[in-house]
């Protein structure tokens, strides 16, 4: 789990029988990457944990899905929509894209989407302006997902300015990465890589999703 704050050495509440003194240990405030709850835990224990106990859940263990690609798809979706620290939050949760409350639990997501999942697929919203719900989601391949993104999501072209400090200013808005690439002689997928934070520039410009 992620450390939110170092709390330092604190009393544990247990007594060292040998010396008759109260034990101390290093504590931190951790954030569960799934439910985003903050928990005060021993530093060593929190660092080893992937999620809080509630999110670990007995249902995940029964299905044996914890740590699988499908389980990771679910966690990534929660992060994009619920965690402002996630690098993709600004194009999901930051734009008001939400998740069906039922899908905040693994059980609810599994019930709606688990049976139709196949290895190698990723979740996609048919209408990118609407939320993650059963009626608006489907499973597609990664190449299909990339093609869908370049074809339908508006992008903003940015110009790098060096003074007084290095920053980017908006040049033009394009209806899609495909349209920008066609007009400027660039590559759609490379524009999307910049938008997703996987590259800094393409064609000498910065790019971001609207």
Cα separation, 34 vs 75, in Å, equals: 6
Phi and psi (nearest 5°) for 176? -165, 165
Residues 67, 86 within the same domain: yes
Residues 69, 131 within the same domain: yes
Decide if 154 contacts 174 (C-beta within 8 A).
yes
Residues 84, 139 within the same domain: yes
Expressed as residue numbers, the domain containing 140 is 58-150
Residues 25, 40 within the same domain: yes
Domain boundary among 104, 125, 150: 150
Q: Tens-of-pLDDT digits for all 210 residues of the chain?
A: 678 888 888 888 888 777 788 888 898 888 877 667 788 888 888 877 767 776 665 444 455 566 678 888 888 898 888 888 888 888 788 888 899 989 988 888 988 998 888 887 888 888 877 899 999 998 888 766 666 666 677 889 998 888 888 788 888 999 888 888 888 888 888 888 888 777 888 988 998 887
Number of domains within the chain: 3
Residue among 51, 53, 61, 72 nearest 2 (CA): 51
């Amino acid at each position: 789990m992620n450390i939110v704050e170092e709390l330092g050495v604190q009393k544990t509440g247990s007594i060292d029988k040998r010396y008759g003194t109260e034990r101390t240990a290093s504590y931190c405030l951790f954030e569960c990457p799934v439910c985003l709850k903050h928990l005060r835990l021993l530093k060593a224990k929190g660092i080893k944990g992937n999620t809080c106990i509630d999110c670990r859940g007995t249902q995940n263990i029964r299905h044996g899905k914890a740590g699988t690609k499908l389980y990771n798809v679910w966690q990534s979706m929660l992060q994009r929509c619920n965690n402002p620290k996630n690098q993709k939050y600004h194009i999901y949760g930051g734009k008001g894209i939400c998740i069906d409350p039922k899908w905040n639990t693994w059980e609810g997501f599994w019930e709606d989407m688990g049976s139709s999942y196949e290895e190698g697929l990723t979740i996609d919203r048919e209408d990118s302006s609407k939320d993650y719900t059963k009626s608006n989601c489907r499973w597609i391949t990664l190449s299909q997902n990339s093609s869908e993104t370049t074809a339908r999501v508006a992008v903003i072209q940015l110009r790098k300015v060096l003074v007084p400090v290095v920053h980017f200013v908006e040049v033009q808005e394009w209806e899609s990465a495909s349209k920008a690439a066609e007009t400027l002689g660039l590559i759609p997928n490379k524009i999307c890589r910049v938008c997703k934070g996987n590259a800094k520039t393409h064609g000498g410009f910065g790019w971001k999703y609207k």
